[in-house]
Every structure is written in structure tokens, then in C-alpha cells.
Amino acid sequence: MSDQNRAWQRPSIYDVAAHAGVSHMTVSRVLNGHPNIRDSTRERVMQAIDEMNYTRSSIARALATRKAMRIGVMVDGPVEYGPNSTLRALERAARDSGYSVSAFSISDDPDLGVDVGVADLMSQGVDALCVIAPRSSSLDTLREQPTRVPVLVVKADPDPEMMTVAVDQRAGAHAAVAHLVDLGHREILHISGPLDWLDARARHTAWEEDLADRGLTIRDALVGDWTSDAGFAIGRDAPAIDDVTAVFASNDQMALGLIHGLTKRGLRVPEDISVVGFDDLPDARHFLPPLTTVRQDFAELGRLGLELLVSRIAGEEPADSAMILPELIVRESTAPPRA
């Protein structure tokens, strides 16, 4: 190979080792923060890295650590905002840590079930598995699968068999209901997501608990499918709307459709009825009216989830569960009920 062609090559871990006068394993230990390295050696290696503009590739790191440097992620409902945002956040956090992500979308199709997803991802030699936005049926199937790697589930309730990380869904629902009660609302309806979804179930349970604790009437929740069409149909046609002054929708998309349907019904938001959503979509502040909602910090969720997985991959014993508090964002879709 000519010197000219060699000049265009990205330097390898072996080139850095030769430049620093150490073995490639020493370079690998420096890159991975190994404690048993002399300061003078560490400085010499870091200087060589800077001088050669070396960027560690996942292949080089995999060879040095005997890890694939790959996280397998299974996603229920990948087109929904919450699961999709969590996946994107995990991918960014993984990339920043030198890992890549292989994703598998779970569905009711037998060819795209959890068992198929586990087999597919394990065949790629992943170092760990993460399951985002699971339904209870998905978790039941997951427990039956031989994984042999660390498993993290993004769900609000701790699990004795796997690590969990989540935004506190109950706390978010409690904040939404408390906001409506503080405004003076006593007749509060809930539009839940599909109750096989663990997040939807947690929000529904918190709504029921809040009303019960305050001695308020608990009406049957109306179950949607996360879509704005479901919210629209409820807002336009559901008889239960006539008996309430406020609605807590389990996601912003259903809240958007709800507001549209209420308008078709001849009701004004918030003058006639208040609406609270959940997620804080990027467009939620541009709804008419701008939507009061519960914000989830997906970036922090991805960072924290990856941190737990990488610690377990390294043989450490991190906490089995971690929870992030959501934030209530008050906008113009809520107001005190009419006197």
C-alpha cells in the first residue's frame, strides 16, 4: 500500500499503540478507563490519540473487550410518540457510549412476536436486551425466553426478574388530576389507552386512586387506542361527556382529537370543559387551545436506561430499578369550571 493511500486511512487502535510505544491492549484499557494504568502511560496514550485524531470504532472496541458493543431493543407500538421517542433517546445515549442499537418492532403478528424478536436479536450477539413500552402479554412471553444477557424493561413498576427504568406514570397522572381538582373540577372523566399497555394501566389506576381518595365519583373510563381519531369520536359522540367538566386523556394525540370532537359537539375548551393530555408532544403548545399536559423526559430516560445496561454488561450490580419524575405543563386547555 502506498504512503498516499495509507494517509487516507483512519488510524486503528494498533496505529495508536505503535505511536505511543505500548501494546494495543494497553490502549484498550486506557479507552475503557481501566484503573491499573500508570498516569504517565495513560497520558502518553491520550496524547497519541489526540495527535492521530483517533476515533474508536465499535469493531475495534468489540475486539478489545470481546463484546459486540450492541444493544438489542424490542419496541411495542413503535409508531406511537412515547415508544418512538424512548427508542430515539436510547439510540443517542448508546451512540455516545460507543454502542450501536438493533431494533425489533413487536406486533400481534406471530412472525413479529416477542419470541421471534428475542431470537432475532440474540442471533446478532447483542450484549443486552431492552424492551420499550411493553404490554402485559409481551412481558409474559419475554419471561419464557432464554436470554442469557442483561434485560431492561421500560415500565413503571419494579420487576423481581429484570431491571426496570421509567418515567413515573402514576406521578404524572396524579399531577394531572390534582391540577384539575385544584381548579375546582369534581366531575373528571378519563380516556385511557389500551389497558394491556402497562403505561396506560398505570395512568388509569392513578386517576381512579385520586378520585377515590377525594371522595369523587369514579365513572367508567373510556378506552381509546392512542389515536386522535379515537379522541375525536369520544369528544363528538360519547354520552359521558355531558356529565363532566374535565377530561384527562392518556396521551396528547387522543387529547387533540378530543378537542376537535368537542368543538363539533358545540363545546368550548376550556370554557365548557377542560382537557389535560400526557406526553407533551412537540406540537402540544400549538394546539387550539395550547394543551395542558404531562411532560416526559425521554432523553434522560434513554441515558439512564443505557447507564444501567452498560453497568450490568460490565459485571457491576447497578440498582434494579430507576424512576424519573415527569413535569406538569400548564397551558390554556384547562380553567376553573363554569359556576
Q: CA 264, CA 328: separation in Å to the nearest integer? A: 28
Same domain, 77 and 120: yes
Count of CB atoms within 10 A of residue 4's CB? Answer: 7
Same domain, 192 and 145: no
Same domain, 235 and 279: yes
Same domain, 93 and 203: no
User: Model confidence over 262-313: pLDDT tens digits?
Assistant: 999 999 999 999 999 999 999 999 999 999 999 999 999 999 999 899 888 8
Comparing C-alpha atoms, which of 99, 101, 55 is closest to residue 78? 101
Q: Indicate the pairing of strand 128-132 with strand 70-76.
A: parallel
List the domain range (segments joined by +) for residue 209: 169-296
- Mean pLDDT value across residues 75-96: 87
Q: What are phi and psi of 65, to 5 degrees?
A: -105, -10
Same domain, 84 and 54: no
pLDDT over 50 (residue 145): yes
Same domain, 120 and 81: yes
Assess if residue 330 is contained within a domain: no
pLDDT of the residue at 63: 45
**Beta carbons of 297 and 167 less than 8 angstroms apart:** yes
The last residue of a domain, from among 15, 46, 62: 62
CATH code, domain carrying 87 = 3.40.50.2300
pLDDT of the residue at 140: 86
**Beta carbons of 132 and 75 less than 8 angstroms apart:** yes
Comparing C-alpha atoms, which of 281, 282, 283, 287 is closest to residue 334? 287
Same domain, 118 and 144: yes
CATH code, domain carrying 51 = 1.10.260.40
Assess if residue 333 is contained within a domain: no
**Beta carbons of 310 and 99 less than 8 angstroms apart:** yes
Assess if residue 252 is contained within a domain: yes
Same domain, 302 and 162: yes
pLDDT of the residue at 56: 55
Question: Average pLDDT, whole number, for the chain?
Answer: 88
Assess if residue 83 is contained within a domain: yes
Same domain, 58 and 156: no
103, three cell numbers:
431494533
Q: CA 67, CA 100: separation in Å to the nearest integer? A: 12
pLDDT over 70 (residue 12): no
Same domain, 174 and 280: yes
Q: pTM of the entire structure? A: 0.78
176 Rama sector, left if φ>0, alpha if ψ -120 to 50, beta otherwise:
alpha
Assess if residue 331 is contained within a domain: no
Element holding 87 (H helix, E strand): helix 81-96
- Mean pLDDT value across residues 109-137: 86
SS3 state of residue 116 = helix
Same domain, 100 and 199: no
- Mean pLDDT value across residues 147-173: 90
Assess if residue 152 is contained within a domain: yes
Same domain, 173 and 284: yes
- Mean pLDDT value across residues 109-115: 83
Q: CA 252, CA 288: separation in Å to the nearest integer? A: 13
Residue 210 vs residue 16, higher pLDDT = 210
Per the structure, the count of domains in the chain is 3
For the chain, how many residues are written? 339
